[in-house]
Amino acid sequence: MFAVKQPTTKVLPLYQEFHPRWYRPRVSVYWWLGQWQYLKFILREISSVFVAVFVVITLLQLRALRAGPEAYARFQHWLQSPIALAINGISLFFVLFHTITWFNLAPRAMAVRFRGKRLPEILIAAPNYVVWALVSAGVTWLVLR
């Protein structure tokens, strides 16, 4: 009266070492050294570490300032050591590199249109540089006055 349905089993295809869908060409660990664009991408990503180092040094400076004149004098003395100068020099380079590459990337990430046409990249990147210069000048004026 009622037919019993037999379970169906799928037959898996034989294993093929280089199946077209599964084939992934081997890529060297140093793939990013092949082109300047790849290297720039990796350097921009690594620069985030140095941005963090710069922030940590600034926070340590604020902590030393809060701890009193003696602690701040010790911190300033440490900042004059060759290791601290090297760390700050490398960090400055990478912070500038990170900022410049980020500002150059902004026009590609934002497709701003005006009257149906895309604005040139310079019109999007230039205000970033202008604001950066104005803020830097303002901070410099505050520190040096």
Distance CA 2, CA 4 (A): 6
Which tens digits make up the pLDDT trace of 70-119?
999 999 999 999 999 999 999 999 999 999 998 988 888 888 888 888 88
Burial of 91 (0-12, 13-18, 19+ CB in 10 A): buried
Distance CA 130, CA 139 (A): 14
Which tens digits make up the pLDDT trace of 47-76?
999 999 999 999 999 999 999 999 999 999
CATH architecture of 33-96: Up-down Bundle (1.20)
- Range 125-130 average pLDDT: 92
pTM: 0.69
Per-residue model confidence (pLDDT) at position 28: 86
Residue 77's Cα: distance from chain center in Å? 31
Please report, for residues 25, 66, 98, 119, the alpha-carbon distance to residue 112 in angstroms, rounded to integers and kept in the order given. 38, 45, 23, 6
Q: What are phi and psi of 114, to 5 degrees?
A: -135, 120
Which tens digits make up the pLDDT trace of 18-30?
666 666 788 888 8
CB 91 within 8 A of CB 54: yes
Listed by start position, the domains of the chain span 33-96, 110-145
Query: What mean pLDDT is reported for the chain?
Result: 87
Per-residue model confidence (pLDDT) at position 88: 92
- Range 117-145 average pLDDT: 92
Q: For residue 113, give the DSSP letter.
A: E
Among left, alpha and beta (phi > 0; psi -120 to 50; other), residue 68 is: left
Per-residue model confidence (pLDDT) at position 12: 60
